[in-house]
């Protein structure tokens, strides 16, 4: 039998109900904050990611699914959505009507990482991206929107980690300082980090290898190198978050795994997910739009890891999938013929409906209704037909009422809607 590709997975019911739930709340919540949905494709030119995420990142060096397209173009299954949203913003000149645009996207991303719990090769993100606003109020608003989204899903125990990565004015001095320090410790660094030291010393701060972590334990922090503007910007983000009672901690080791960030960078972490503790991450990328050929427009965004979020929601609400409102139990051919119609009409009227036409015994069908966690069972047999009254039984209270067959659909619909049954 042909099996799944390693690192990929099927998302099956009942888990899909949780996915639908987290996605629907995201849509509603983000739209309240003025975001509109964009759906870029999953395939882009490889150059888009090489230039935006950075040549010397793990994602670009090792994790992209890249293959030859037509006419010497290399194509890549998107490892993230931000670059695509920026490309679309530029390509369709979305800035020309109003430079301030807010988009969200929901969909799969692809990274050839080592699969483990909470880390997949096809995973899913909900992204939010804002263009045209450099005010620190937007940084705070975005983090507020993210934290209140998690609160709406009743997820607790999350911590916002915040750092500032500075700008092209102040980062070179920090880079130099870090590079000088690390050059004296190359024997402690892994091969990748030694190789990247010249081009991208910030990546060493993000390396998970034990000896690299030791080497950077007393590394300088970007915050100490911020220029006046970046310092004021970062202070304002924190003061608005304070005023809005959003708890956060400054994490000077937070550098993120993508190169495009400037100023505010953040991650939302939890202890409940084990090693893969980031449930969302984001930050400013004030130079990316221009770098990819667009006008000079500041931007900021984040991505929620839906696979990890679903795990948190499931741990909170183990029985997420609701059983049917009505489970029909037809006994005999005549009953089946009537039920065949009712089941369709009731489902069409907005009631979650199931029926079993297997012809098995009443006991077997009742057991199945129980297993499916049906709220009500509607029993129809020859006796009920003769009396023109089906039996509606509430599976929790075991209460029973007769339902006139000539008004069955309307009566059941009303009772279920009024939660009488």
List interacting residues with ligand HAM (CB under 6 A).
80, 82, 111, 113, 119-120, 123, 125, 127, 129, 257-258, 278-283, 301-303, 305, 307-308
Give the residue at shortest CB distance from ligand HAM. 305
Smallest gap from Cβ 35 to ligand HAM, in A, equals 12
Question: DSSP labels for 259-288?
Answer: TT-EEEEEEEEESTTTT--EEEEEEE-TTH
Q: By C-beta, is 120 or 225 nearer to ligand HAM?
A: 120
Smallest gap from Cβ 283 to ligand HAM, in A, equals 6
CB atoms within 10 A of CB 388: 12
For helices 408-417 and 333-348, what crossing angle results, to 10°? 50
Smallest gap from Cβ 162 to ligand HAM, in A, equals 14
Smallest gap from Cβ 206 to ligand HAM, in A, equals 10
Chain-centre distance of CA 67, in angstroms?
26
| Spatial contact of 147 and 154, defined as CB atoms under 8 Å apart | no
Question: From CA 279, how far away is CA 4, in angstroms rounded?
Answer: 25
Output the CA–CA distances (angstroms, integers) from residue 254 to 18, 186, 202, in the order listed: 30, 21, 10
Q: By C-beta, is 278 or 403 nearer to ligand HAM?
A: 278
Q: By C-beta, is 193 or 280 nearer to ligand HAM?
A: 280
Smallest gap from Cβ 147 to ligand HAM, in A, equals 14
Smallest gap from Cβ 303 to ligand HAM, in A, equals 4
Phi, psi of 276 (to 5 degrees): -85, 80
Q: By C-beta, is 127 or 200 nearer to ligand HAM?
A: 127
User: If you count them, how many residues does the chain have?
Assistant: 421
Q: By C-beta, is 35 or 302 nearer to ligand HAM?
A: 302
Smallest gap from Cβ 280 to ligand HAM, in A, equals 5
| Rg of the chain (C-alpha set) | 28
Output the CA–CA distances (angstroms, integers) from residue 74 to 78, 113, 137, 353, 375, in the order listed: 12, 20, 39, 49, 54
Q: By C-beta, is 294 or 330 nearer to ligand HAM?
A: 294
Q: By C-beta, is 50 or 82 nearer to ligand HAM?
A: 82
Return the structure tokens found at 236.
């304002």
């Amino acid at each position: 039998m042909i099996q799944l590709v390693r690192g990929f997975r099927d998302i099956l019911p009942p888990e899909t109900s949780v996915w639908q739930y987290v996605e629907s709340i995201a849509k509603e919540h983000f739209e309240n904050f003025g975001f509109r949905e964009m759906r870029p494709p999953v395939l882009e030119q490889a150059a888009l990611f090489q230039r935006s995420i950075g040549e010397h990142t793990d994602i670009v060096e090792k994790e992209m699914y890249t293959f030859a397209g037509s006419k010497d173009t290399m194509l890549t299954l998107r490892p993230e959505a931000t670059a695509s949203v920026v490309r679309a913003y530029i390509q369709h000149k979305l800035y020309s009507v109003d430079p301030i645009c807010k988009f969200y996207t929901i969909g799969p991303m692809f990274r050839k990482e080592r699969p483990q719990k909470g880390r997949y090769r096809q995973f899913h993100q909900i992204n939010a991206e804002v263009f045209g606003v450099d005010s620190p109020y937007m940084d705070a608003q975005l983090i507020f929107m993210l934290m209140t989204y998690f609160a709406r899903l009743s997820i607790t125990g999350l911590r916002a980690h915040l750092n500032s990565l500075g700008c092209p004015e102040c980062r070179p001095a920090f880079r130099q300082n870090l590079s000088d320090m690390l050059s004296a410790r190359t024997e402690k660094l892994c091969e990748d980090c030694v190789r990247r030291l010249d081009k991208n010393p910030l990546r060493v701060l993000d390396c998970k290898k034990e000896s690299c972590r030791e080497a950077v334990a007393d590394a300088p922090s970007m915050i100490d190198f911020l220029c006046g503007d970046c310092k004021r910007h970062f202070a304002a983000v924190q003061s608005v978050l304070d005023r809005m009672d959003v708890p956060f901690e400054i994490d000077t080791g937070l550098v993120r795994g993508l190169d495009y960030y400037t100023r505010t960078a953040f991650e939302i972490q939890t202890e409940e997910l084990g090693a893969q503790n980031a449930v969302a991450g984001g930050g400013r990328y004030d130079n990316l739009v221009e770098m990819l050929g667009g006008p000079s427009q500041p931007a900021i965004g984040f991505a929620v890891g839906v696979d990890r979020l679903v795990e948190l929601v499931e741990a909170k609400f183990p029985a997420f999938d609701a059983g049917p409102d009505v489970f029909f139990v037809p006994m005999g051919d005549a009953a089946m013929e009537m039920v065949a119609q009712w089941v369709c009409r009731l489902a069409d009227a907005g009631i979650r409906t199931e029926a079993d036409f297997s012809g098995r015994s009443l006991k077997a069908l009742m057991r199945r209704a129980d297993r499916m966690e049906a709220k009500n069972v509607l029993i129809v047999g020859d006796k009920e037909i003769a009396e023109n009254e089906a039996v509606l039984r509430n599976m929790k209270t075991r209460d029973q009422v007769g339902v006139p067959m000539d008004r069955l659909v309307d009566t059941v619909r009303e009772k279920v809607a009024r939660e009488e049954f």
